Amino acid sequence: MELEPLVILAALLSGAVVGLFLGTFGGGGSVLAAPLLIYAVGVKDPHMAIGTSAAAVAAIAAVSLIGHWRAKRVKWPCAGLFALAGIAGSVVGSQLALRVDGTWLLLAFAVAMGAIGLSMFRRPKGLGDPDVHITAAIMARIVPLGLLTGLAAGFFGIGGGFLIVPGLMMATGMTLSNAMASSLVSVALFGATTSANYAFAGHVDLPLAGLLLAGGAVGGVAGVQVARALAGRTALARKGFAAMIVGVAGYVGWNALLGIAATS
């Protein structure tokens, strides 16, 4: 699309919002990227919005990951294996999504958003092993969970952090803080794989993705600082964020239903 000044500003601010939430919570923020592209930036094609947002989210997650890496919160062996297992799933999921009508895909996306928001109301376990090391038993749990999470992330064009964080905790027993940081490895790789599939189909706007990344880089750095500041109040902030996601899901779903009704 044509990059007019208002479009550029909207894309930069959208990227900053996504980066802020990705850096703060390690998941959930990426689900806002496609709706922001459609309703704030003005992208008309849902497939283009999802493909472009996946590319930007992958890069934003990578930027956010640097801060957590420096703080030594990332459990690389566990995070890497989870991500590698999920890449195959994200390839299959994104190929399936490209074959679904854009309006129906938005409706499915809205349902997934609602599920994400509601799942974030649950109280996550803060306890765990901060010194977890990968074992054969952990590997046997990580691989299938990573595969399924990658499938969902690829189909809906999201990073999948809301699934990756509890998945890593369940499979390895690591702490919530470690899981939030480690999840960004998968968010980055799943997004990159999904966007590559969409790019081959002509559904990625690289200049727009670059603007999202520019905004997201700033938001991601700020998010890491916010995560540190909210160390004792993460649960309350997470609930407020979850409520916002549920509200956006309702808006996206309603518009999708109107679009379906108009063409039927």
Distances (CA, A) of 238 to 24, 55, 86, 248: 9, 25, 25, 15
Does the pLDDT value for residue 13 go beyond 60? Answer: yes
Q: What percent of the chain has pLDDT over 70?
A: 89
Which is nearest to 51 in space by CA: 7, 21, 95, 81? 95
Q: How far apart are CA 50 and CA 70, in angstroms?
A: 30
Quick one: what percent of the chain has pLDDT higher than 90? Answer: 22
Closest CA to 34 of 24, 48, 21: 48
Nearest of 8, 25, 39 to residue 247 by alpha carbon = 39
Helix 102-119 and helix 234-263, axial crossing angle in degrees, nearest 10: 160
Instruction: Identify the helix (H) or strand (E) that includes residue 200.
Output: helix 176-200
Confidence at residue 159, expressed as pLDDT on a 0 to 100 scale: 66
Q: What angle do CA 190, 29, 187 make, to 5 degrees?
A: 15
Q: Say what the pLDDT of residue 81 is.
A: 94
pLDDT at residue 109 tops 70: yes
Band of residue 28 on the pLDDT scale cut at 50, 70, 90: low
Domain ranges of the chain: 5-263
Cα separation, 12 vs 213, whole angstroms: 8
Q: How confident is the model at residue 7 (pLDDT cuts 50, 70, 90)?
A: very high
Is the pLDDT score of 115 beyond 80? no
Residue pLDDT, tens place only, 151-187 = 888 887 776 666 787 788 888 888 877 888 898 899 8
pLDDT for 48 equals 93
The pLDDT value recorded for residue 56 is 86
Eight-class DSSP state of 28: S
What pLDDT band is residue 242 in, cutting at 50, 70 and 90? confident
So what's the pLDDT on residue 143? 92
What is the distance between the alpha carbons of residues 195 and 191, in angstroms, rounded to a whole number? 6
